[in-house]
Structure 1
Amino acid sequence: MDVIGPVVRARRKELGISQATLAERAAIDRTYVSSIERGQRNPTLPVLILLTVGLQLPQGALLAAVIDAIANQDDWLARAIERGSVVE
């Protein structure tokens, strides 16, 4: 289930910037940005932080958007988030 790529792509397009510009702002390779957006790579937490900077988002906003997207696709995870626990 790829949710990170669409979230990154949507924000990048909202800003009207290219993958190359995002990569430059985030200090990562353009091909890495492309592979994240296509769902071929899952970024590590440090890369998510760099993307947050490149996408001009407040700290934690990208991770929160990803969690929201996952919760919307996965009823079990949505219920777990509401409960504040993944243990039933």
Structure 2
Amino acid sequence: MDRKLNTILAKKIAKVASSKESKNPKGKFSLKRTSNVPLLVHLHYIQFMDRLTKEATRLAQRDGSSTVMKKHLLEARESTLKLFRG
């Protein structure tokens, strides 16, 4: 089950990272909540994505890279998921 969830999450992260449609004109991602998503779930999602991006950025800087690559996201995903498992 965890392996399937990790695969799905990795695909979604890669899709969001490479998607230009999800960006607004200022280049930031839109985090608008749809009406059918509970507020608490949405807030957890925002917190998860924030920690994931910060950790991936930290890993990229540690490697001396100026951009966040897929390998940084995958490494960051593992540590971030450990924090969010209930």
TM-score by length of 1: 0.30
Q: Which has the higher contact order (CA 8 A, sep 6+)?
A: 1
